[in-house]
Amino acid sequence: MHSRHLTTRVLAGLLLASPFTASPASTQAPAPRFRMIVIGELKDDKGDDEIHKPYVEAGTLWLNQLAKDSGFAVTYLTSPNTMTDSMLAGIDLIWQMNYTPYRWTAPAKAAFEKYMNAAKGGWVGDHHASLYGPVLTTDTWPFFAKLIGEVNYKNYISKFASGNVRVEAADHEIFKGVPASFNIATEEWYIWDKNPRSKVHVLANVDESSYKFTDPAESGVKMGDHPVIWTYDGYKARNLYIFMGHHPNLFQNTAYTTLLRNALFWAANKPAPTTAVKPKERAGGIALGSDTRFITLPAGGLRGVTVSDAAGHALYRSGEREAVDRIDRSHWGAGRYLVQAVSAQGRVAQWLELR
């Protein structure tokens, strides 16, 4: 088992102490909006790279930027087995990126159960968090099993398939800005020994008829009704299981990152920062244009350019005194982008619809 911390990040431009230690009054900065623990295993018990390491690394980069933009603090753990009551006392959210539930130690299980029954925090689990049951281990943890609908892993699409996720609860906060159906390009798609629907509140399913298999020989690995996002109402803490969480290309999928961003803020019970209000242009505003590959800006005299997507993620930020006249946006895809720019003439903020 790995028991060390990966790192504790300094976020949002603030000088932050560790979430679990005091800092002198002279260096105390304003408190973050909330505090999160992320469980992200990088090495397995044999010391080899854990299979989901690329997802954890891509998720870490994405989360660090989100935390900086949104003003919350993150502590990364390679294992849940360092968690104690005192550690979790100041935590608003646990995101279990990976790490199978049957490998938690008894003290960690007890701390987690107390936390989840206290109605003061939340939990989001991805993909690997459901890898549980007698097929894989003789150990049982009834408390955690309820979180994942009391299902046991049965089989999976080992060579990947794309598939369309269909939202069932469009009015739920986690789906704000998420299409009613969205494609996941590379996923393993576990199936379980039974359907969790009778035990949990299902929020989305995968349309198995939309699968495009890398290996057609795996086309029989299906459940029929196949829930992939759900919440369990039996514990006081907010909780959410999102099956999709294997491949790092998920963090290039706007629907997925919007869903995940919403899920983290919802489970932490902290309203997500909004970018819905269109900023007003001041006198001397700068006309902005775009083409297929570049966002183009007036040549010369332009400083402090920032571009964000519709969910509020900063995609580009120039240095304060760096002149910029065009920005390569070919890897962003279609969508609405907020461009904010500063020049000697004033400031401008403009929404662009890129196709």
277 inside domain:
no
Count CB-CB contacts under 10 A for residue 170: 12
Question: Are residue 263 and residue 293 in the same domain, yes or no?
Answer: no
Question: Are residue 299 and residue 220 in the same domain, yes or no?
Answer: no
CATH of the domain at 318: 2.60.40
Place of tokens 């399913």: 205
Per-residue pLDDT band for 305 (boundaries 50, 70, 90) equals: confident
Question: Are residue 239 and residue 186 in the same domain, yes or no?
Answer: yes
Query: Which helix H or strand E contains 261, and what residues bound it?
Result: helix 254-267
Count CB-CB contacts under 10 A for residue 10: 15
pTM, to two decimals: 0.71
Question: Are residue 154 and residue 192 in the same domain, yes or no?
Answer: yes
Mean pLDDT, residues 229-238 = 96
Count CB-CB contacts under 10 A for residue 110: 15
Mean pLDDT, residues 282-309 = 59
Closest CA to 338 of 277, 283, 261: 277
- Number of independent structural domains in the chain: 2
Between 175-189, 281-295, 303-317, 334-348, the lowest mean confidence (pLDDT) is in 281-295
Q: 295: domain range?
A: 289-354
Tell me: pLDDT of 252 over 60: yes
Question: Are residue 197 and residue 295 in the same domain, yes or no?
Answer: no
Place of tokens 């911390």: 5
Contact present, 44 and 82 (Cβ < 8 Å): no
Question: Are residue 207 and residue 246 in the same domain, yes or no?
Answer: yes
Count of H-run helices and E-run strands, the chain: 5, 19
Question: Are residue 78 and residue 142 in the same domain, yes or no?
Answer: yes
Query: Which helix H or strand E contains 94, and what residues bound it?
Result: strand 93-96
Please enumerate, as own/partner, the contacts of 217-225 that have beta carbons within 8 Å and a separation of 24 or more.
218/157, 218/158, 218/159, 218/161, 221/155, 221/156, 221/157, 221/189, 221/191, 222/191, 223/191, 223/192, 223/195, 225/195, 225/197
Tell me: pLDDT of 311 over 90: no
Q: Please write the tens of the pLDDT for every residue from 51-98.
A: 899 999 999 999 999 998 889 999 999 999 999 999 999 999 999 999
Provide the pairing of β-strand 335-343 with 302-309.
Answer: antiparallel
Question: Are residue 74 and residue 177 in the same domain, yes or no?
Answer: yes
Mean confidence (pLDDT) of the chain: 81
Three-state DSSP at 111 gives helix
